[in-house]
Amino acid sequence: MKFSASQIAGLLNGTIEGDANASISTLSKIEEGVPGSISFLSNPKYTAYLYQTQASIVIVENTLELTGPVSATLIRVESAAAAFATLLEMYNQVKLNKSGISPQSFISPSAKVGTNIYAGEFSFVGENAVIGNNVKIYPQVYIGDNAVIGDNTTLFAGVKIYSETQIGKNCIIHAGTVIGSDGFRFNPENDHKKVPQIGNVIIEDDVEIGANCAIDRATLGSTILRKGVKFDNLIHIAHNVEIGEHTYFAAQGVVGGSTKIGKNCMISGQVGMVGHLQIADRTTMTAQTGISKSITKPGETYMGSPAFEISKYRKAYIQFRNLEALAKRVEQLEKQGK
Amino acid sequence: MKFSASQIAGLLNGTIEGDANASISTLSKIEEGVPGSISFLSNPKYTAYLYQTQASIVIVENTLELTGPVSATLIRVESAAAAFATLLEMYNQVKLNKSGISPQSFISPSAKVGTNIYAGEFSFVGENAVIGNNVKIYPQVYIGDNAVIGDNTTLFAGVKIYSETQIGKNCIIHAGTVIGSDGFRFNPENDHKKVPQIGNVIIEDDVEIGANCAIDRATLGSTILRKGVKFDNLIHIAHNVEIGEHTYFAAQGVVGGSTKIGKNCMISGQVGMVGHLQIADRTTMTAQTGISKSITKPGETYMGSPAFEISKYRKAYIQFRNLEALAKRVEQLEKQGK
Amino acid sequence: MKFSASQIAGLLNGTIEGDANASISTLSKIEEGVPGSISFLSNPKYTAYLYQTQASIVIVENTLELTGPVSATLIRVESAAAAFATLLEMYNQVKLNKSGISPQSFISPSAKVGTNIYAGEFSFVGENAVIGNNVKIYPQVYIGDNAVIGDNTTLFAGVKIYSETQIGKNCIIHAGTVIGSDGFRFNPENDHKKVPQIGNVIIEDDVEIGANCAIDRATLGSTILRKGVKFDNLIHIAHNVEIGEHTYFAAQGVVGGSTKIGKNCMISGQVGMVGHLQIADRTTMTAQTGISKSITKPGETYMGSPAFEISKYRKAYIQFRNLEALAKRVEQLEKQGK
């Protein structure tokens, strides 16, 4: 897709300075601008790049005063950052504007399918599944029997949705993620027999989940991700976990079975929580934290494994770094005492 | 699938109280019972829910004495918990009772395929692969050349089995798991050349593996998971590892190359072991433990990174939490000494 | 595939002792040799196995003097290790010598495809994608629109390559790995709106990536893996990360957004780095290390979380193990002071 400076100026309600026929097919940072790309200048710290950039078009603010020659075509707008954000979204919408049901997909005759969906090659929709309007099912996606996918949700290539899973509206699930696999429950005392996992997973609206995550179904009842939860890549969620609205979860987290996490928590990378905990709203956990006890007070920050409150942890860790010196000081005191 | 109270009472050899035509299509916890579901009451702590539940049918014990009106149909049996467990298994069997070879699958003409198998859409079976009886191959599964899959084993959607892998009977492998990828061996001294990985993976009977795991083939010889090993999600097993019978492994564990783990070990989430270790039988490792040395004494529990014996670790960690105070006490002693 | 001793001796320019018609179909370690396999003896420590092995053929050195009867056919060469390495590579080449475009694959009419490629069943190549010569695309692989795959690169079963990704020559990517998923960026202050991720991933030549990794595209610009980078399984790389030439990364590592890692680093398993760091060349990180600050001095080794220099860490950790004893010594000193 190519766009000319005049087309873009029209979209952004901007004014052109330079070649109105300059055309672009991609977007770039101003310091990395290549021919055929459009960039923007908002932060004054980057002004010097305007005079060096190879970008074909640069969006700048109406108030900018040039101090030298610029090779790029300029488009002047009120807010360059806002205009560029608009372009980013439009670009993404065009790029992701897939539609149509591939003859090489498989949709069970008993499935109910909404209007304007995309079902890519080698995608599979099981019996009695319900697919909303404008759903995008990329190639090699699997949607099991009785699963429900809400309107405007996108499942990228190779996502695997087990049977009975319910996914809300406006969700995005990235490639390779598995939702609804069996919880990890066996009975070592009874010949290691598997505990049947017959619950499901419920994912509410506006949830985004990264690539190659694994979210287990409940033993009975539901594993639940509430509205607006955001997951990075490679996260493991055990059976019967519940995660509150707008909680953010960075890569490679682990949550043990039946733990309930509150709203608006910020969980960094490689964090682990054992099972059967309650985590208060607005809890923050730093990277690699290990949580072994429930957290009842909202809004606190935790660090370490097992974790405790961050300022106390940092003070202890400062001493840990110098622990050999402390031990020598104790030794010295003991010598003096003799 | 719908079942009536009278059908279920027949299956469980129970007695009906209430509407024998009440019908259900799913199972629920008594405290979360919804219309159209069947629940059970076994633990007396939950008795109050019996009078509130919306479940259409509740399984109760013969000895239960009602103290008020109940809207659900009751089915009385000797052990409500055992009866419900029977229902769970039956439900799962019906749900997972897939069969038939899809015309949209690919099975190599040289593969040997047992009786009564399921091969879902877009599944692939390579040359000379051997598939046992009653094997379930879900959509988008890949089984490489010469792989062997034992009777009654289930491979969920998108499992990838590399060539030469051998999987036993009655195994369950969840979606997205990769078995038989190359071990991570290169030669930094010789132009970073790859060390060819021509061994395989052997998985014995009754093994269950969670979603999105990655189990590497041996450089030469075999990476082995012994009978009854149970894996949670997102676990990495390097080349030439061996894991003993009935060892349990929670999510996101890592085992380095050539490490041998004993029988009946219990390994918590996010545990890591470096390569070339021997781990004794019945070893327990707590969450996020890092094992850097072999463990020779069976039945011990380890914590920390690098790990040591748990009771010693906990004592050290109690002091660590108060390390700033300890440092101040030493400072105070030094002042006193002057 | 079966090979006779005389065929192999011809390939290796070796001399046969014993049955020239002995035939093998696989390779083995001498201590695990089974009938029908070929093994080798190079390290004198393993000499005793020569007289016990069940391998049908053993490669030995010209200089070896036998001290007893050997049942295997011997092939004498100058260097047994080198000869066996040659066999390993040949075996792998034969095993991986897939070719042809399956009629059950989907290749977009606008894609450009090189000569001698393999495109397995249910693989997908998007619009305007460019596939080099001798590329191997295993079953169920997804290659998005505008992606570029260099000559001689192998994508194993189920690899998912998002649109615009660029992969160099001679790369190997293992099953289930996802490349080009969206970076994890949302705006909690602005109704949790997603920041569009419209950059890409660039992977240079000679890179190998393990199974079930997840490598995010850049927000703008590129996430870059330089020439010769080697990744183990289940690694997460965030948006806009850059990893220098020949850096090795063991399993389950995490790198936060925009971090730049130098050349020839050695990163052990389960290591995490937060975002926006600079890591110097030849840095080593031990298992489970957590890096929270930039590293400017090349060639150092780090341990712990948060990490510091390894020899200092080890000294502190020795004291940590005995922290209870140290606390008791301080208590004792306090008593003495009274």
pLDDT band for position B94 (cuts 50, 70, 90): confident
| Boundary of a domain, candidates A95, A130, A156 | A95
Per residue in C125-153, is it b (16+ CB within 10 Å) or e — as a string? bbeebbbbebbbbbbbbbbbbbbbbbbbb
> Quick one: tokens of B115?
């009786």
Contacts of A284-288 with C-beta under 8 Å, sequence gap 24+, read A286/A310, A287/A250, A287/C272, A287/C274, A287/C290, A287/C292, A287/C305, A288/B288, A288/C272, A288/C288, A288/C290, A288/C305
pLDDT band for position C263 (cuts 50, 70, 90): very high
Query: In this predicted structure, what is the pLDDT of residue B1?
Result: 67
Chain B residues close to C172, C-beta within 8 Å:
182, 194
Selecting among B174, B236, B239, B246, the annotated active-site residue is B239
Distance CA B124, CA A75 (A): 53
Chain A: give the shortest CA distance to residue C260, in Å.
16
Output the furthest CA–CA distance in chain A (Å, rounded).
90
Digit-by-digit pLDDT tens for chain A (338 residues) are: 688 999 999 999 999 999 999 999 888 889 888 899 999 999 899 999 999 999 999 999 999 999 999 999 999 999 998 998 888 888 888 888 899 999 999 999 999 999 999 999 999 999 999 999 999 999 999 999 999 999 999 999 999 999 999 999 999 999 999 999 999 999 888 889 898 898 999 999 999 999 999 999 999 999 999 999 999 999 999 999 999 999 999 999 999 999 999 999 999 999 999 999 999 999 999 999 999 999 999 999 999 999 999 999 999 999 999 999 999 999 999 998 76
> Quick one: tokens of C155?
């994508």
- Residue for token pair 């052109």: A16
pLDDT in tens, B34-59: 899 999 999 899 999 999 999 999 99
Q: Is residue A333 part of a domain?
A: no
Closest CA to A247 of A218, A217, A277, A282: A282
User: Do B146 and B240 reside in the same domain of the chain?
Assistant: yes
Query: Using the beta-carbon criterion (under 8 Å), do A184 and B234 form an inter-chain contact?
Result: no
Query: Using the beta-carbon criterion (under 8 Å), do B236 and C251 form an inter-chain contact?
Result: yes
Distance CA B224, CA B207 (A): 11
Highest mean pLDDT among A164-178, C1-15, C183-197: A164-178
| Boundary of a domain, candidates C37, C64, C95 | C95
With contact defined as beta carbons under 8 Å apart, do A312 and A322 qualify? Answer: no
| Boundary of a domain, candidates B36, B62, B95 | B95
Chain B: give the shortest CA distance to residue A136, in Å.
18
Q: Is residue B321 part of a domain?
A: no
Distance CA A322, CA A72 (A): 56
Report phi then psi at B81, rounded to 5.
-65, -45
Q: Is residue B335 part of a domain?
A: no
Distance CA A145, CA A270 (A): 33
ipTM of the complex: 0.93
Our count of domains for chain C comes to 2
Which residues are within 8 A (CB) of A72 and not within 5 positions of it... i.e. 6 or more apart? A18, A22, A33, A39, A50, A53, A55, A56, A57, A58
Helix (H) or strand (E) holding C167: strand C166-167
Comparing alpha-carbon positions, the chain B residue that sits nearest to A106 is B121
Q: Is residue C337 part of a domain?
A: no
> Quick one: tokens of B175?
């979606």
Nearest to C142 among A158, A172, A317 (CB): A158
Map residue C287 onto helix, strand or coil. coil
Q: How far is CA C3 from the centre of its chain?
A: 30
Chain C residues close to A228, C-beta within 8 Å:
192
User: Do C90 and C227 reside in the same domain of the chain?
Assistant: no
Q: Which is it for strands C236-237 and C214-216: parallel, antiparallel or unpaired?
A: parallel
User: Do C18 and C116 reside in the same domain of the chain?
Assistant: no
Query: In this predicted structure, what is the pLDDT of residue B230?
Result: 98
Nearest to B32 among A178, A221, A316 (CB): A221
Distance CA A256, CA A245 (A): 19
> Residue A142 CB: number of other CB atoms within 10 A?
31
User: Do A61 and A180 reside in the same domain of the chain?
Assistant: no
Report phi then psi at A17, rounded to 5.
-125, 115
Contacts of B152-156 with C-beta under 8 Å, sequence gap 24+, read B154/B96, B156/A160, B156/A162, B156/A181, B156/B211
Helix (H) or strand (E) holding C321: helix C310-321
Map residue B319 onto helix, strand or coil. helix
Give the active site residues of C.
239
Q: Is residue B70 part of a domain?
A: yes
Q: Looking at the whole model, is its pTM more than 0.90?
A: yes
Comparing alpha-carbon positions, the chain B residue that sits nearest to A121 is B122
Comparing alpha-carbon positions, the chain C residue that sits nearest to A330 is C330
Query: Using the beta-carbon criterion (under 8 Å), do A246 and C192 form an inter-chain contact?
Result: yes
Listing from the earlier edge strand, what are the strands of the sheet with B124-125?
Answer: B106-107, B124-125, B142-143, B160-161, B178-181, B214-216, B236-237, B254-255, B272-273, B290-291
pLDDT band for position C1 (cuts 50, 70, 90): low
Which of A142, A155, A242 best probes binding to B when mutated, by most B CB atoms within 10 angstroms?
A: A142
> Residue C188 CB: number of other CB atoms within 10 A?
13
- Among C190-194, C297-301, C307-311, the least confident range: C190-194
User: Do A142 and A199 reside in the same domain of the chain?
Assistant: yes
In this structure, which amino acid lies at residue C104? Q
List chains touching A (3+ CB pairs under 8 A). B, C
Chain C residues close to A140, C-beta within 8 Å:
122, 124, 140, 142, 158, 160
Q: Is residue B328 part of a domain?
A: no
> Residue B252 CB: number of other CB atoms within 10 A?
30
Strand partners, A28: none
Per residue in B82-109, is it b (16+ CB within 10 Å) or e — as a string? ebbeebbeebeeebeebeeebebbbbbe
Q: Is residue A21 part of a domain?
A: yes
SS (H, E, C) B238-285: CCCCEECCCCEECCCCEECCCCEECCCCEECCCCEECCCCEECCCCEE
Residue C85 reports pLDDT greater than 90: no
Closest CA to A254 of C291, B233, C273, C267: B233
pLDDT in tens, C228-257: 999 999 999 999 999 999 999 999 999 999
pLDDT in tens, B320-332: 999 999 999 999 9
> Quick one: tokens of C60?
């030995």
Nearest to C269 among B160, B163, B272 (CB): B272
User: Do C149 and C287 reside in the same domain of the chain?
Assistant: yes
Residue B240 reports pLDDT greater than 90: yes
Query: Using the beta-carbon criterion (under 8 Å), do A181 and B251 form an inter-chain contact?
Result: no
User: Do C208 and C300 reside in the same domain of the chain?
Assistant: yes
Nearest to A210 among C184, C188, C290 (CB): C184
User: Do C54 and C141 reside in the same domain of the chain?
Assistant: no
Sign of CA dihedral B309, B314, B319, B323: positive
Q: CATH number, domain at C46?
A: 3.40.1390.10
Q: Is residue B199 part of a domain?
A: yes
Query: In this predicted structure, what is the pLDDT of residue A26?
Result: 85
> Quick one: tokens of A187?
């009975």
Average pLDDT score over residue span B222-227: 98
Per residue in C21-59, is it b (16+ CB within 10 Å) or e — as a string? ebbbebbbbbebbeebbbbbbbeeeeeebbeebebbbbb
With contact defined as beta carbons under 8 Å apart, do C132 and C152 qualify? Answer: yes
> Quick one: tokens of A97?
């504007």
∠ CA A238-A240-A244, nearest 5°, is: 95
Distance CA A59, CA A42 (A): 9
Comparing alpha-carbon positions, the chain C residue that sits nearest to B290 is C288
pLDDT in tens, B146-179: 999 999 999 999 999 999 999 999 999 999 999 9
Structural domain for B161, as ranges: 100-313
User: Do C45 and C190 reside in the same domain of the chain?
Assistant: no
Mean pLDDT estimate for chain B:
95
Nearest to C320 among A92, A251, A320 (CB): A320
List chains touching C (3+ CB pairs under 8 A). A, B
With contact defined as beta carbons under 8 Å apart, do A286 and A308 qualify? Answer: no
Full DSSP string of C71-109: -SEEEEES-HHHHHHHHHHHHHHHHT---EE-TTSEE-T
Query: Using the beta-carbon criterion (under 8 Å), do B248 and A186 form an inter-chain contact?
Result: yes
User: Do C112 and C79 reside in the same domain of the chain?
Assistant: no
Which of B141, B181, B286 best probes binding to C when mutated, by most C CB atoms within 10 angstroms?
A: B181
Residue B338 reports pLDDT greater than 90: no
> Quick one: tokens of C77?
């060469």
Query: In this predicted structure, what is the pLDDT of residue B26?
Result: 85
Query: In this predicted structure, what is the pLDDT of residue A90?
Result: 85
Map residue A14 onto helix, strand or coil. coil
∠ CA A248-A254-A260, nearest 5°, is: 65
With contact defined as beta carbons under 8 Å apart, do B4 and B65 qualify? Answer: no
Chain A: give the shortest CA distance to residue C212, in Å.
7
∠ CA A45-A51-A53, nearest 5°, is: 90
Q: In Å, how far are A106, A136, A215, C38 from A120, measured between CA atoms?
A: 9, 8, 23, 46
Map residue C46 onto helix, strand or coil. helix
> Quick one: tokens of A275?
């099972």
Distance CA A166, CA A305 (A): 34
Nearest to B214 among C120, C208, C211 (CB): C211
Per residue in C61-93, is it b (16+ CB within 10 Å) or e — as a string? beebeeeeebbbbbbbbeebeebbeebbeebee
DSSP annotation of B198 reads -
User: Do A187 and A125 reside in the same domain of the chain?
Assistant: yes
Q: CATH number, domain at C216?
A: 2.160.10.10
pLDDT in tens, B2-14: 889 999 999 999 9
∠ CA B2-B8-B11, nearest 5°, is: 125
Query: Using the beta-carbon criterion (under 8 Å), do A326 and B330 form an inter-chain contact?
Result: yes
Mean pLDDT estimate for chain C:
95
User: Do C67 and C136 reside in the same domain of the chain?
Assistant: no
Query: Using the beta-carbon criterion (under 8 Å), do C269 and B254 form an inter-chain contact?
Result: yes
Q: What is the CA radius of gyration of chain A?
A: 27
Preceding amide of C306 cis, omega within 30: yes
Chain A: give the shortest CA distance to residue B39, in Å.
10
Query: Using the beta-carbon criterion (under 8 Å), do C196 and A89 form an inter-chain contact?
Result: yes
Which residues are within 8 A (CB) of C63 and not within 5 positions of it... i.e. 6 or more apart? none
Which residues are within 8 A (CB) of A319 and not within 5 positions of it... i.e. 6 or more apart? A326, B323, B324, B326, B327
